[in-house]
Structure 1
Amino acid sequence: MATTDRQATTLALAHALSAAERGLAVIPLCRTKLPALRSPHRDEPDPAGPRCHGECGRFGHGVYDASTDPPRIRELFAAAPWATGYGIACGLPPYHLIGVDLDTKSGTDSSTALRELALRHLFTIPETVVVRTPSGGRHLWLTGPPDIVVPNSAGRLAPGIDIRGAGGYLVGPGSRTEHGVYTTAPGTTHLTPAPCPPSLLRLLVPPPRPPHPAPIPASPAPGDHGRGLVQFVLSAHEGQRNTRLFWAACRAYENGIGPALVDPLTEAALNTGLSEREARATIASAARMTGHQP
């Protein structure tokens, strides 16, 4: 390995350890921004069961290797001496990080697109950590509620805007890639990630498509008591339950029937397999997100 590569690895490890001190879980990355350690299961036939997320005890499971423990981080980088950067896992405590990636390579003005979204949906991006990419893009760091899962997406919010959520990662500042170095924007180094605006958060957690062709009314009539929203929750499959319940509760509060639907939505969530504590916590979170008292 060239001296410059060794220096880049040493510097990346130092930055990764510094991020871990702030509570950010990290993994080593190579110059292509991919996880530096390959999967230990890459030569195995595809198993019929669930994929391993590190239960085997070996390194090479991508974001599932992420850690805030200094000895483990050193072990990860020792196993990948070619690493020149580090990734920061999103969706994990204490920050439950959400990354808004404003790209410039697609030829679209992603910054303008975000401003238009903010005007249309009445939110303001708070002062927060901003990381500059070598291509001229920006990563905005935001935090989300612990009970809401924000999925990864590419261009769904608007052209040129990618979202890094649970199961994803952001390239950490100080990382060196084949296109250059990621840096923290001046004036944001001392900041901590700011909470995601509620209106933006609702855009990041879209409702899954209903399994039946019958449309779900977006604005139930006052005498309807939100039967469509309750049915929407009842038809949730495993992996959709919290997301559907949160979306339905947000719509209920926005249409003025939130308090009346707390018990029906809770009962519907119980029928899908959620516990009463989980259901009521999710509904309370929706109430707060829409500016109501749970």
Structure 2
Amino acid sequence: MATTLRQTATPALAHALSAAERGLPVFPLSPAKLPALRSPHRDEPGGPSLCRGECGRPGHGVHDATTDPAGVRALFAAAPWATGYGIACGRPPYRLIGIDLDVGPADGAVTPGPSRGPRANPLRDLGDLRGPAPDYLRESAPDSVAALQHLAFQHLFTLPDTVVVLTPSGGRHIWLTGPPDVVVPNSAGRLAPGIDVRGAGGYLVGPGSVTARGAYRLAPGTAGLAPAPCPRALLRLLTPPARPRHARDRPARGHGLVQFVLAAHEGQRNTRLFWAACRAYEHGFGDALTEALVDAAVRTGLNEREARATIASAARLTSGP
């Protein structure tokens, strides 16, 4: 296996360098789609460091991302086992926004649809609102696609021709760009079920990456495209107005999230905890609610270590740059 990973690292570096040349900040990923380099602060006394690369050492995940070819080569040299690369969202010049559509079948297999020639852009039929999703989307469990179509119809926007990346599980990553004065947060399922958003502080797996589940590749018809500007109506959905954060508001909102976790049955405890933690962090009081969420999760049957790991994952997903 080690030999295979070393051989795969060469094309991963080549793809990463190509992306960096186009102005996309990149860093190496492991086959698990996680940052390939471990934190240099992992063994420091006093717990994890809040350093985001200021120390000058690699191992800070998305904060390592760079467009400098020498910097990219250095990162991959430090992680020769890397089989893919991440692209940092929210960073200039593109300020990338990733719309992650989970459209894979339950068994994780990809069901290919008929070829439609050079115009087979998954967004052209999705965005024009003139009919159902195309076969190559409809045959792959299209709940999130239908949800995005509904949002487009309801809020009167059309998805532009843009870069689309196909995931090994049958999903779609839609690449859009944001304006310099807008910060799009990361979110999981807030826009609609099955739709995650990668914004500031998040990253997308780049095309050409190889993971434990397979390869990421550009969708037919999108290879020659540049990321297109996010439609204004969709941008407003991705950046909801800030809610008041008065201290008196927090217990009520926090109480509802805790009750949501407490109502979890076996098989949904982790999912409910992750959802509640994401909502808490998105609204600015995740750290304050952590202990209450951990306590609620433990009362439903999760162990404390698992609960804290789930909340930490929610914090990473929704964190800003």
**Structure 2 length-normalised TM:** 0.64
Cα distance in 1 for partners of 2:7, 2:64 equals 23
Matched, 1:72 2:79: no
Matched, 1:207 2:206: no
3-state DSSP class of the match of 1:60?
coil
Q: Identify the residue that residue 155 of structure 2 maps to in structure 1.
A: 121
Q: Identify the residue that residue 62 of structure 1 maps to in structure 2.
A: 61
Unmatched tracts of structure 1, length 5 or more: 215-238, 241-294
Matched, 1:12 2:12: yes
Cα distance in 2 for partners of 1:211, 1:158 equals 24
Q: Identify the residue that residue 45 of structure 2 maps to in structure 1.
A: 45
The change in CA–CA distance for 1:108 and 1:129 in structure 2 (over 3 A counts) is closer
Does the aligned pair in 1 maintain the 2:2–2:81 contact within 8 Å? no
Matched, 1:143 2:162: no
1:211-290 alignment, distance < 5 Å = 211-212=245-246
Q: Identify the residue that residue 36 of structure 1 maps to in structure 2.
A: 36
Q: Deviations over 1:81-112 (max 9, x none)?
A: 11000000000111000000001357761111
Q: Deviations over 1:199-234 (max 9, x none)?
A: 0000101123213479xxxxxxxxxxxxxxxxxxxx
Q: Identify the residue that residue 291 of structure 1 maps to in structure 2.
A: none
Q: Deviations over 1:110-144 (max 9, x none)?
A: 11100000001111110000000000000000000
Q: Identify the residue that residue 215 of structure 2 maps to in structure 1.
A: 181
Count of paired positions: 215
Please provide the CA RMSD for this pair.
2.0
The change in CA–CA distance for 1:162 and 1:46 in structure 2 (over 3 A counts) is farther
What residue identity is the alignment partner of 2:176? Answer: L
Cα distance in 2 for partners of 1:69, 1:205 equals 30
Does the aligned pair in 2 maintain the 1:108–1:159 contact within 8 Å? no
Q: Identify the residue that residue 225 of structure 2 maps to in structure 1.
A: 191
**Structure 1 length-normalised TM:** 0.70
Q: Deviations over 1:22-51 (max 9, x none)?
A: 000000000000000011111223469x71
Cα distance in 1 for partners of 2:174, 2:27 equals 19
**Where does structure 1 differ by over 3 angstroms across 4 or more consecutive aligned residues?**
45-48, 105-108
Cα distance in 2 for partners of 1:155, 1:73 equals 32
Cα distance in 2 for partners of 1:45, 1:90 equals 31
Q: Deviations over 1:225-261 (max 9, x none)?
A: xxxxxxxxxxxxxx99xxxxxxxxxxxxxxxxxxxxx
Q: Identify the residue that residue 307 of structure 2 maps to in structure 1.
A: none
